[in-house]
Amino acid sequence: METKDIFERLRIGETILPNDPEAYRMREEAFITKKLLVQMNNTAEPDEIRQLLSQVTGSEIDASVVVFTPLYINYGKHTKIGKNVFINFDCVFLDLGGITIEDNVQLAPKVSLLTEGHPTSIADRHSLIPKPILIKKNAWIGANATILQGVTIGENAVVAAGAVVSKDVPDNTIVGGIPARFIKDINT
- Report the C-alpha gap between 88 and 147 in whole angstroms: 15
Active site residue ranges: 118
Enclosing H/E stretch for 51: helix 46-57
- Report the C-alpha gap between 171 and 127 in whole angstroms: 33
Closest CA to 93 of 48, 169, 154, 40: 40
Enclosing H/E stretch for 116: strand 116-117
